[in-house]
Structure 1
Amino acid sequence: MKSDRLTADELVSERGEAAPIDTAIDSHAHGYRWIILLVIWSAFTVSCVDRFAWASVAASVGHELGFALALLGSLTTAFYVGYTVSCPIGGVLADKLGSRATLALSMFPLAALTFCFGYVQSFTAAVALHAVMGFAAGAEYGATIKVLTVWFVRDKGRAFGIWATGTSVSVVLANATVPRIAELWGWRAAYQWLGVATFAFTLLCMLVVRNAPRRLVQARVTGAELASLLRSRALMLVAFAGAGALYGTLGFVAWANALLTVAHGVSQVKAGSVLMGFGVGAFLSKPLFGWLYDRWHTHARSMAIAVLLCFVTLLIAFGTCTSMTGYYLIAPFLGAAAYGYTPLLIGLYTRASGARLAGAAAGLVNTVWSVGSFVSPIVAGYVFAHGRSVDATLAVIAAGPLAGALVLAFAREDRRPGASEPGSGT
């Protein structure tokens, strides 16, 4: 008697349609997947607080430990070096071992390392711990994209959009909680509390998250399949386009405050209020564009191009603006354009990879995207420092999303079997 547990390939061959995973999700699982999303979002948000905690207390902690001011940013760089190295490894592990096991391999060490950072004494130890923390955190990305791709089909855009808000929320949480805890009980206690919180939410993930609905099991991914991702034209173009997009986003975020205060003479308080509007637009845009992906997934590439071109236009408008009213009006729309492409691009590359290879694809793409994150603050800072020109700095920043839009214009469908879409299937 044949088992009712079907692989994705078996579902394709028996039903002959492009939505194999969706057919395997029963009514109970349709509700349960939103619980999975909530738990994964919570764990991801806490892990991002671990990531951003240093920036919120770097000045005071660096002074206490005797770190040179110019070297404080080295810890953040070390974190992202480890993160970038880990991303493709974590993606492959998610496809080979499953998302649940990979999340455990990523987040339990992150919890322990974050806790241990509270005992650091030397600059060398601080940099080394941050690098290893980044390495631990990087594997989470591919595992998360994998599990969401498997559980969400018709509304995966919304799932990606909601999950991606974790980065925005974590910035607020890190700045609202870590300095306050550090002030009351010391920065070492703040990191220890973060380690405990990360452990608790990781444990919750292990109790709640399942790799796939109960009627769906996926065959073991082969090395040849993983290697084939490098030959996917659509996947690689989305990776390069996203690098350009993030180049623009991170370049603006890194220098927006300085552009307003140094070049335009805006006070720190007013600059902060402008960037709060930017953050609100960024937060709201991710689920909004995720919903648009679900509604018009066949036009996702065109929508992503339009968002990136709007990003370029709004950067130019921000640079030429001369009034506070103008800044307040532009900032929310600029924030929406600077982050709204995220669920669209995730939808595009998971469509190109299919659910079976979604973890490896996420790790590969995120590694390429990280290059834009590394480069842009350095390049924009160099241009700004050698002329204090807002127009020139924003022009350099805008070159990233413009290049991303041009790259996406050459992308075409490259969809694998099992790469289901919203509205497909029965």
Structure 2
Amino acid sequence: MVLTLCWLSFTMTSVDRSTWGPASVFVGKALAVPLASLGAFATAYYIGYVLSNALGGFASDRFGSRYTLTISLVGAGAFMMVFGATTSAAIGIAVQAVVGLFAGADYSAGVKLLASWFRPDQLGLVMGVFTAATSLGTVIANAVVPSLIEKSGWHTSYHLFGLISIVVGVVLFLVVRPGPVTGEHASPARRGSTLAALVRNRDLVLLALAGFGGFWGTYGFITWSNTLMIKGHGVSPKTAGAIVAVFAATAVIGKPLVGLIADRFGGARKVPSIVILALFVVTLIVFGSLGNVTGFFVVAPVLGLAAYCYLPLIVAMTPQLVESRLVGTAAGACNAFWQLGSVLVPLAVGAVFQATNSFLAAFLTLSAGPLIGLLLMLPIKERATRTPVETS
């Protein structure tokens, strides 16, 4: 039940985030925003999201995961509804930042809550299921939003998903409680040394930088692919949404499967991550070289596997690179840094496409992220999988 509700909460914040992709062209037209400036909305969202990720672990430790998850979902849902009613570009950008500020807290809170219910030796598959929510959120948004826009305008999708997020947050608050598995908590006196220990950890820093590159490609595609296909090749909004839905759908199964396979075969994650990132680079370039709907549909599922399935592997690598007392803080800090790729890529891709009007140039810009990411993974020294310990 706890895994289901954590997964559902992460799915809804992912739906909220992914709604922008299929809605962006219509929002831009309604608010008189030029194409190159549409990335400002996504960047504002991710600025709030990164800040929230950085603070989410602290909030979960201080106030509890249940409260943090509830505030995250209810706040994000409420401001999604506010965005659906906005008529000003400036206000819309500010509201997107607030949506991100609430939504980002649910990652650390979900990880902390799941860790209180599942033993360490179970977390590989559990985190695969949990992180599959980001892919499913993209599927739902791209499958539903174009039809909602066609029938009743872009405002409806923000009102609908915002309301559902609020309902899920309330249900979670009423039902979920912390579990029986507890971990070590650092005392206030040790918090100062915690940050220094993370910064000095060469392998953790490399993993954070590599994840930044991966997220650059993944969330750059999610943010811009609909608009690029519509503007670059005249694909209809509904068809573009279907292509992105296919892109994300394969990862819904792929993430748990990759996590399970890695756990079953000795817990090695570095080499599979490098292989998947390499495939990501190739498929982004191939996708950018295409010019027809059939080709987009053929490549989309492979691209989706590559764009998402490195994530459970690098999430599972984090505990291998730090002491037990630093696992929570390291996970939150890494995720916050990974999300910086999501902050910067919308503006970068928008600028490249505006300057070149080239579909391929935009996708080459996206592919630079995972390429750098796989190169940074190479020198990481992967530790042996930690032996599970009994907790009181």
TM-score of the pair, normalised by structure 1: 0.76
Counterpart secondary structure, 2:252:
helix
Contact 1:142 1:360 in 2 (8 A): no
Larger CA deviation: 100-109 vs 381-390 = 381-390
In structure 2, the residue matched to 1:127 is 93
In structure 1, the residue matched to 2:249 is 280
TM-score of the pair, normalised by structure 2: 0.82
**What is the deviation of 1:36?**
0.8
Alignment of 1:218-367 (within 5 A): 218-222=184-188, 223-224=191-192, 226-227=194-195, 228-256=197-225, 267-268=235-236, 274-319=243-288, 327-353=296-322, 356-367=325-336
Larger CA deviation: 225-234 vs 284-293 = 225-234
Larger radius of gyration: 1
Contact 1:254 1:377 in 2 (8 A): yes
CA distance in 1, matches of 2:185, 2:325: 8
RMSD: 3.5
State percent identity of aligned pairs. Answer: 35
Distance 1:285 1:221, change over 3 A: farther
CA distance in 1, matches of 2:43, 2:312: 25
Alignment of 1:68 onto 2:33: yes
CA distance in 1, matches of 2:352, 2:43: 20
Alignment of 1:202-221 (within 5 A): 202-213=169-180, 216=182, 218-221=184-187
Distance 1:378 1:188, change over 3 A: closer
Q: Note the alpha carbon deviations across 1:180-214, whole angstroms, 9 max, x for none.
A: 6677777666545444422221122223333332x
Q: Note the alpha carbon deviations across 1:284-319, whole angstroms, 9 max, x for none.
A: 321221212322353111111111122223334445
Distance 1:118 1:305, change over 3 A: closer
Distance 1:151 1:352, change over 3 A: farther
In structure 2, the residue matched to 1:90 is 56
Larger CA deviation: 87-96 vs 130-139 = 87-96
In structure 2, the residue matched to 1:397 is 366
Alignment of 1:164 onto 2:135: no
Distance 1:249 1:420, change over 3 A: same
CA distance in 1, matches of 2:147, 2:243: 23
The letter for the 2-side match of 1:241 is: A
**What is the deviation of 1:425?**
5.5
Contact 1:106 1:138 in 2 (8 A): yes
**What is the deviation of 1:170?**
2.0
In structure 2, the residue matched to 1:155 is 122
CA distance in 2, matches of 1:372, 1:61: 23
CA distance in 1, matches of 2:113, 2:12: 18
CA distance in 2, matches of 1:60, 1:255: 13
In structure 2, the residue matched to 1:43 is 9
Contact 1:149 1:350 in 2 (8 A): no
Residue ranges of structure 2 left out of the alignment (5+ in a row): none
**What is the deviation of 1:275?**
4.2
Distance 1:332 1:149, change over 3 A: same
Residue ranges of structure 1 left out of the alignment (5+ in a row): 1-34
Contact 1:90 1:360 in 2 (8 A): no
CA distance in 2, matches of 1:118, 1:253: 20
Distance 1:210 1:358, change over 3 A: farther
The letter for the 2-side match of 1:132 is: V
**What is the deviation of 1:346?**
0.5
What count of residue pairs does the alignment treat as equivalent?
384
